[in-house]
A and B are shown apart, each in its own frame.
Chain A
Amino acid sequence: MNNKFYIHIVVLMLIQLFILNNIQVNHYVIVNIYILAIFILPFNICRAILPIIGFVLGLIVDLSIGTLGINASAATFIAFLRPQLIKLSINQPSINESELKRFNNSWSFLKYILISILIFNTIFVFIEAFSFENILNSILRIILSSVTDTILISIYYFIALKENNNKF
């Protein structure tokens, strides 16, 4: 997956822009699959570029749905936290090659995705609400969106990436 991550970024962005942005499930569910593009970035990527990638991807999605800055800020945040979240999810202070291979196939990757999606949706929902009033409503939106995102991202991951990864 490391070699073809840019193809998957393009595909994920196209799915997001042309399919998911046009689907209005309901008020509580916001579907964002493009953040998987941030999760599948190579591990050895420069840390300084990570927030920039997140910002650009979020901004493109924002431009297509007219919520300038909301997706960008949330995506920048999870992209910036990516190295720390990976370390947290595999319980290791440093990551070596063998562990990374195991990470790609293991339960800890799902854990990383889950935490990231939760953070992303938390930021997304609170910036969209822009206040802490109606906090129960906001939490419900976070949970439902996170569940939906996790399911969709897992489906995409297991269809398009997992097999590929096994071959690799």
Chain B
Amino acid sequence: MKEIFNLILRFQSTLIFFVLEIIALCLIVSNNDYQNSVFSDKTSAVSGFLSKKSISIINYLSLKNENLSLIKENIKLKNELDNIIITKEDTLFQKFNSTNYFYRTANIISISYNRSRNYIIIDKGKKDGILPEMAVVSNQGIVGVIKSTSNNFSIIIPLINLSLKISAKIKKNDYYGTLQWGAKNYRYSNLEDIPFHVDVNKGDTIVTSGFSSIFPKGELIGFVEKVEHKTANFLKIKVRLANDFKKGGSLYVIENLNSDEINKIKKNNEQ
């Protein structure tokens, strides 16, 4: 301790000198604009260089984590991509207005079109989540409704079946009626219960009304072919079906995700 004190005493003038010089330099840098600017220029260059280096080092050190997160993201994206492909091949998920519909693809196994009660059989059944009363559409227009299902197959009642009645409307003025096949030609069906005062012309579009829980609203059914005054109050409209039943291709089975809820309400109402 004594030696340290002696050392300080011996070099006290040097010590004082350095302290005073540092004070003087601080005063110079803090109080003289020119020296200050030069000093801050130099120091900012040095600090910029140092921070650049340190950032590059930190970046290098965090490359491993970066890699891991990129791999994770890659896997996630790949999964999503797979899902998208599967969805495209198999099912499509669409939002329709406020109601959710789930789309599944199916292929026709057998089809009849020359009887009064025609049926279509498709290659998807209970295993694929298909249940009775689901709607079936093609890319041309609506096809029909699922009647019954087995494990791997389903039977569709198509529009060209006398026992199927669908609520349909004229797209341009929202008048709705019932669509029922006339059992004559697989290309044409009949729209009934449209009041006689309604303005209907050839070529008008007929779409689903959306009043049932089966079909989404606004699915294309067909086009007006001929308008007849069948009775005093109602028109009989001949509709050319949009879907050509002789034309093959994949079908989409539409599941209304809210149908359970709707049916429940209906049941409650009946009780």
Contacts and interface: CB of A to CB of B under 8 A. Distances in A.
Interface stretch (A3-11, A66-74, A159-167): A66-74
B21 interface: yes
Given A58-B24, A68-B27, A130-B38, A48 B32 contact: no
Contacts of A47: 12-13
Contact of A73 (B14, B25, B38, B39): B25
A48 B21 contact: no
A56 to B, nearest CB: 9
Interface string B1-44: 00000000000111011001101111111011011001100000
A52 B16 contact: yes
A80 interface: yes
A127 to B, nearest CB: 6
Contacts of B27: 59, 62, 68-69, 72
B20 A127 contact: no
Given A58-B24, A73-B25, A127 B17 contact: no
A44 interface: no
Contacts of B24: 55, 58-59, 69-70, 72-73, 76
Contacts of A62: 27
Contacts of B38: 130-131
Contacts of B17: 51, 76-77, 80
Interface residues of B, number: 20
Contacts of A50: 13
A72 B13 contact: no
A73 B206 CA distance: 98
Contacts of A130: 34-35, 38-39
Nearest to B19: A51
A61 to B, nearest CB: 12
Nearest to B26: A69
Contacts of B29: 69
A166 B79 CA distance: 104
A95 to B, nearest CB: 16
Interface in B33-59: 34-35, 38-39
A47 B15 CA distance: 11
A51 B32 contact: no
Interface string A68-109: 111011001100100000000000000000000000000000
B28 to A, nearest CB: 4
**Residue among B12, B17, B23 with the highest chain A CB neighbour number at 10 A:** B17
Nearest to B35: A130
Interface of A: 47-48, 50-52, 54-55, 58-59, 62, 67-70, 72-73, 76-77, 80, 127, 130-131
8 contacts: A48-B12, A58-B24, A59-B24, A59-B27, A68-B27, A73-B24, A77-B17, A130-B39
10 tightest CB-CB pairs across the interface, nearest first? A69-B27, A69-B28, A73-B24, A68-B31, A80-B17, A47-B13, A51-B17, A72-B24, A55-B20, A69-B24
Given A55-B24, A80-B14, A130-B39, 20 more contacts: A48-B12, A48-B13, A48-B16, A50-B13, A51-B16, A59-B24, A68-B27, A68-B31, A69-B23, A69-B25, A69-B26, A69-B32, A70-B24, A70-B32, A72-B24, A72-B27, A73-B24, A76-B24, A80-B13, A80-B17
Interface of B: 12-14, 16-17, 20-21, 23-29, 31-32, 34-35, 38-39
